[in-house]
Structure 1
Amino acid sequence: MYIILLVLNGKFYGPVAEKAYKVQLSRTSNNKSGPSVAGNGFNNVVQSAAETIYMILFYIAAAVFAFFLYTIPHIGIPLSFVMNCAIMSYYCFEYKWSYLGWNMEQCLSYLERHWAFFLGFGVPGTILTFFLSVIRSGVIFALIYPSYIIMATMATPQPTGSFGVSVASGDAARSEWNLPNTLPIFYPVRKIVDAIILGVRLVGGIPADPKVAKKNKNAVKTD
């Protein structure tokens, strides 16, 4: 019953995101200062098989890394909570970024440049699901996710850094503490995915670098 309800509920996510995107598009088209929009809509965005596989590996690696953080004594739970906030935000904004035609690297870079916004965006949903069992958290997530899709589609994240604001210098700069403009929170997840892909290549006999493969091929011909 739980799986059936999740599948049925998932069919509504796309229409909700599409409607919210159209509302946002109609607003920004009348506002010259609004964000520029590219792409032909979510239903017209075609992802290659490699991108789809990479996305699946990414979510699996993110879940594994968050669980690994959870097992660290003393500081594991807070670190895992922060990681889940980032994953929650990425999952909520994924529809909007698909509409804009962004690839996964663009999405991750954008999230890491606006990390304070996205961590804050994911806090309420993570609080509601983080401390529950898998089934209970899945039920709560299914209830709140449509609202989060709408909020993510309508949102306009701002950079973390104080761009355009005067920065202290000299002795004042040494005593002033500023947040970093970029926080590579998904860097370990990227490395896990790269390691998995490298392992698959090695097992399948596929060279990681096409230049290396060409060089080896020429060496064989010479011999």
Structure 2
Amino acid sequence: MESFTNFSVSLFKGFIDSLRGVTVLLYLDKEINERALSRSPNKEAENRQKNIKVNQESKVLTRVLQSCALNGGIFWFSILIFEYALLPGVKYLVSVVFGHDPGVAHSVWGWMQPFLSMTFRMIWVLPLFLLSKLVNSLWFQDIADSAYRHRRGRPQFMSSVSKIIADSLFSLLVQALFLIQSMLVSMLPITYIGELLCLTHLCLLYSLYSFEYKWFNMGWELHKRLTFIENNWPYFLGFGLPLAVLTQIPQSYIISGCVFSILFPLFILSGNEATPVLSSDYPLRLFSPVVALSNGMFRVVRQSAEAVTQRNR
């Protein structure tokens, strides 16, 4: 009974903490600006310091609005316009032009619709999707760095650049494999079990995304970040639940990506403010299989590189 109570409290606390980003966004910029002004050495330099420091530090609200404008106002809206305005309009014109023969109109539209959809995806959706991923990563980093400096001061990075690069590459591989693992467990032929396991994976993965900026700035290596999530998984299950559910609602992967990109900045702020509930009685080692697989892949690559180097000597 006590274990169930602790699980419920941790889950609920994580869920509530994940929503804090909405309120943090409303006052964080103001606090950053006020702190920047308070550092001005004298009144003569106040105006100059105000402009410099606000431009350097007050990026949170701007970046969140830019992310919403790019992912929702441009990307998502353009897809909706194409699907629900342009395609129906072209279909109507085809029916008007070939109105005397409905069979011909149906046949013409049968090959035009896939062609138009494919052309739209190749010329507009795919390039904009890739561009938005790149731009979002830069904006998300700005949001995380500004929030972290305001709350905790200067980041405590890892000891060397090579370690940072290796940690980042290994983290990307682990996250990609973990996403594949979540898709595999969703295929289990047991009613609702596969979906529940997939949702659990996504909750933990989105929690990792949200907290990773803060933990990276704190100098935590990947194994420490993953172990912390596995040991305190009820909290992170609750924290990632809102984003996991909201991104699962759209049927389209592209639309789901737009929803994620619009909401994710708020979860970065929530993660920066949150203090996870510790509950390491029953660790959930879901990351362990992909970590072992990633280690094996890196070991094979390293051995192959060493073999090539020896042959070239």
Taking structure 1 as the reference length, what is the TM-score of the superposition?
0.70
The corresponding residue for 1:209 is: none
Q: Report SS of the residue matched to 1:11.
A: helix
Change (3 A) 1:78 1:112: same
Which one of the candidate residues 158, 164, 172 is aligned to 2:277?
158
CA contact (8 A) 2:148 2:155 kept: no
Change (3 A) 1:66 1:153: same
- 1:88 has 2:206 as partner: yes
Change (3 A) 1:20 1:66: same
- 1:140 has 2:259 as partner: yes
- The whole-number CA distance in structure 1 between the counterparts of 2:242 and 2:160 is 30
Higher mean Cα deviation, 63-72 or 136-145? Answer: 63-72
Which one of the candidate residues 189, 192, 196 is aligned to 1:73?
189
After TM superposition, give the deviation of residue 92 of structure 1 in Å: 0.7
The corresponding residue for 1:114 is: 232
Unaligned runs of at least 5 residues, structure 2: 1-127, 308-313
After TM superposition, give the deviation of residue 186 of structure 1 in Å: 1.1
Cα RMSD of the aligned pairs, angstroms, is 2.4
Change (3 A) 1:200 1:78: same
Q: Report SS of the residue matched to 2:135.
A: helix
- The whole-number CA distance in structure 1 between the counterparts of 2:271 and 2:200 is 18
Taking structure 2 as the reference length, what is the TM-score of the superposition?
0.51
CA contact (8 A) 1:45 1:101 kept: no
Post-superposition CA distance 1:49-70 (Å, at most 9, x none): 3323212211121111111111
Letter in 1 for 2:169: I
- 1:13 has 2:136 as partner: no
Letter in 1 for 2:168: T
Q: If you compute each CA radius of gyration, which structure gives the higher value, 1 or 2?
A: 2
Change (3 A) 1:99 1:201: closer
Change (3 A) 1:160 1:55: same
Change (3 A) 1:49 1:42: closer
- The whole-number CA distance in structure 1 between the counterparts of 2:210 and 2:299 is 29
Letter in 2 for 1:104: L
Percent of residue pairs bearing the same amino acid type: 28
Change (3 A) 1:10 1:205: closer
The corresponding residue for 1:210 is: none
Report 1:162-201 matches (<5 A). 180-201=281-302
Q: Which runs of 4+ in 1 moved over 4 A?
A: 41-45, 201-206
The corresponding residue for 1:214 is: none
More helix by share: 2
After TM superposition, give the deviation of residue 113 of structure 1 in Å: 1.7
After TM superposition, give the deviation of residue 195 of structure 1 in Å: 3.0
Unaligned runs of at least 5 residues, structure 1: 27-38, 162-179, 207-223
Letter in 2 for 1:111: I
After TM superposition, give the deviation of residue 16 of structure 1 in Å: 0.9
Change (3 A) 1:42 1:125: farther
Q: Report SS of the residue matched to 1:92.
A: helix
- 1:53 has 2:163 as partner: no
After TM superposition, give the deviation of residue 90 of structure 1 in Å: 0.3
CA contact (8 A) 2:157 2:217 kept: yes
Post-superposition CA distance 1:80-137 (Å, at most 9, x none): 1100110000011110001100100111111112111111000000001124321011
Q: Specify which structure has the bigger relative contact order, considering alpha-carbon pairs within 8 angstroms and separated by 6 or more residues.
A: 2
Letter in 2 for 1:54: F
